[in-house]
Structure 1
Amino acid sequence: MATLDEQGSKSARLTLEIWHPDCWTLEVTEDAETGLIAHTVSNGTDGRVKGHFTAYGESTAAVESLVDATRRSPLTSSVSEMQRRYEFEHHGLTSGYTTKELFVEYDPSNTISDGLLSQGFIQDAPVRVRNGLEYWSVFVEQADRDELHDRLDVIREEYDADISVTKIYSHETRTQDVPRRVDALSERQREIYELACEQGYYTWPRECTTRELADAAGIAKTTLLEHLRKAEAKLLNPKPVDSPRSL
C-alpha cells in the first residue's frame, strides 16, 4: 500500500481504492466473480447519470448474472445492452474475458466522481470495479502530502467513504510513461502483475517462488507465467500507449 508521505510537493498520479455506500457498481460486484469497467458518463437533462460500462467475467453465465443483478438493483433506473465497440477493446482491459457493453442510467447522488473532481482529483483512466471496490486512476496538480490528506478526508467525510491510496506516481515518473503502460494491461494481466509485486516476486532476492505465486493467484503455474510474460512485454515496450477516454 502506498502512502502519501512518499509524495512531496509536485503533480502526481494516484490510484485510489474506494468504497462508498449506495453504489450499484459496488453492490453488484461484491460477491461476484465478475467486474465492471466504467468508460464514459454524462449528465442527462432528466437529472440522471448515463454511463457506458463493460461487464466482464470468466463465462457467459457469470456476465449474464452480473447484468441481471444490475437490472434488479434499486440503484439503477435502466439498463440496456450496447453493440460492442472496437475502441474499448483496443486497450486490452478485458482481454480473455467474456464481455457485454452496457448503457446504465442511475442517480448522480450515488456516485463519488463529483466529490473527487471538487477536490482536484481528475480522472485519468477508465474506472475498474471488482470485488465491491472501485479503482480510480486520478491526476492531481501541485499539492503537498498534508493537503492531499486533507482533500481525501473531505471526500471521506462527505460521502462516508473508505479511500486508500494504493499507488503514487510522481510527475517525473509519469513522463516516463510507465503508468500509462500499466493501463495497457488486460484486467487479468494487471491483477497477476500487481499480485507479483505485492508478493515480492520482483524483489532481489525473490520473496516468493513462481509456484507460490501461482497458488496465491489460484491458477496453474504455466498460466501464471503466460500472464506475466505478456504483462512484462507490454510494460517494457517503449511504444507510447494511447490515452483512454475519461469517465
Structure 2
Amino acid sequence: MLNTPTRLTLEVWHPDCWVLETSRQTDVGLLSYGCYSGEDDTTRSMFTLYADETATIDAAVDVIRDSSAVYGIGEMVRDHRGHVPKPGNATRELLVDHDGTTQISDEFTDRGFIPAAPVDTRDNTEVWTLVTDESRDRVYSLLEEVESERDASITVTSITQGSEDRRKTPLPMNRLSSRQREIFRLARAKGYYDHPRAVSAGNLAEDLGISTSTFHEHIRKAEAKLLGQH
C-alpha cells in the first residue's frame, strides 16, 4: 500500500545548466515536458519556448544553439487542428539533443520524486512540481542531499500532503512578464495575500523602488492574467 503522497513546488538553481543560462541571457521562458536518455550522457528533451515577441525567441534559440552542452536542435511543427493553450504571445516548440549531465532531473527521480508538471524555467530559476510518498521530514533531507550533490539552491515554495492538497491547480506563472512575476512573488512571500495582510502595498512599493500606484497597476495586471481574465 502506498503512503499518503506529498506534493511540493520548488524553485531551483544549479550551476552549468544551459537552460538556466538561456533564461538568464534572454527574456524567454522554457517549459520542459520530458526527456529521453541515450548513450554517452546524450539526452533528447522537448521544450516550449515562450516570450512576448518572436524576436526574443529567436535570440534564445541562438543562445541554445551556441551552448557547448547542446548538440542539435529540431523545431516541432504545431498541430493547429486542436486548441493548444499558449503560455505567451509567441511560442516555439523544440526537440533538443544535449548533455544530460547538465540537468538536475536524475537527482530528483533517483530519490523517488516524480515530476507532476512541466518544469518552468524563467529568470534564471527552474520551477519544479513533484510528488513523492516520503514524509515531510524525509523530503527536506533528500532535497538537502540534492543541494549538496549538485551545489544547487532549492527553495520549497509549497508542500502539501494527502487530503491537504485541496487547492486549485498551480497558478500559471508563465503568463506573467518578468516584472509582474517578480512583484507577484514578492507580494506572496511578504504576506500581501494573508488575512490580515502582513504587509501593505506601500511597503512593497518601497521595497521595489516604485510608487504605490505603479505597484497596484502591476499586481492587478498579474492577477488578471493568473485568473485568465487577460
Specify the TM-score bucket, using the shorter chain as the normaliser.
Answer: 0.7 to 0.9
Report Cα offsets for 1:69-88 as digits up to 9, x if no partner. 00000011111221124679
Report Cα offsets for 1:161-181 as digits up to 9, x if no partner. 22221211222232x252x2x
Q: Which residue of 2 aligns with 1:122?
A: 114
The 3-state SS of whatever aligns with 2:176 is helix
- 1:202 is matched with which residue: 193, 197, 209? 193
Q: Which residue of 1 aligns with 2:130?
A: 138
1:64 deviates by: 0.8
**1:51-70 alignment, distance < 5 Å:** 51-70=45-64
Seen in structure 2, the aligned counterparts of structure 1 residues 216 and 10 have a Cα distance that, compared at 3 Å, is: farther
Count of residues in correspondence between the two structures? 219
Q: Distance in 2 between matches of 1:125 and 1:165?
A: 16
After the TM superposition, list the runs of 4 or more consecutive aligned residues in structure 1 that deviate by more than 6 angstroms: 217-220
TM-score in terms of structure 2 length: 0.79
Whether contact under 8 Å (1:188, 1:227) holds in the other structure is yes
The letter for the 1-side match of 2:224 is R
Q: Distance in 2 between matches of 1:10 and 1:217?
A: 44
Report Cα offsets for 1:112-131 as digits up to 9, x if no partner. 11110111111110001112
**Which runs of 5 or more residues in structure 2 are unaligned?**
none
Q: Which residue of 1 aligns with 2:34?
A: 40
Seen in structure 2, the aligned counterparts of structure 1 residues 230 and 135 have a Cα distance that, compared at 3 Å, is: closer
Percent identity between the two aligned chains:
29
**1:1-247 alignment, distance < 5 Å:** 10-44=4-38, 47-85=41-79, 89-90=84-85, 94-95=87-88, 97-145=89-137, 147-174=138-165, 176-178=166-168, 180=169, 182-183=170-171, 186-188=174-176, 191=181, 194-206=185-197, 207-209=199-201, 216=208, 221-222=216-217, 224-232=219-227
Mean Cα deviation higher: 131-140 or 191-200: 191-200
Seen in structure 2, the aligned counterparts of structure 1 residues 159 and 185 have a Cα distance that, compared at 3 Å, is: closer
Seen in structure 2, the aligned counterparts of structure 1 residues 226 and 85 have a Cα distance that, compared at 3 Å, is: farther
1:225 deviates by: 2.1
Q: Distance in 1 between matches of 2:209 and 2:98?
A: 34
1:217 deviates by: 11
Q: Distance in 1 between matches of 2:141 and 2:38?
A: 32
1:183 deviates by: 4.9
Q: Distance in 1 between matches of 2:219 and 2:79?
A: 29
Q: Distance in 1 between matches of 2:91 and 2:5?
A: 35
The 3-state SS of whatever aligns with 1:152 is helix
Seen in structure 2, the aligned counterparts of structure 1 residues 233 and 59 have a Cα distance that, compared at 3 Å, is: closer
* Highest RCO, 1 vs 2 (Cα 8 Å, sep ≥ 6): 1
Report Cα offsets for 1:188-216 as digits up to 9, x if no partner. 18936544422433223442339966x95
The letter for the 2-side match of 1:231 is L
1:156 deviates by: 2.0
Q: Distance in 1 between matches of 2:175 and 2:228?
A: 15
Q: Distance in 2 between matches of 1:200 and 1:103?
A: 40
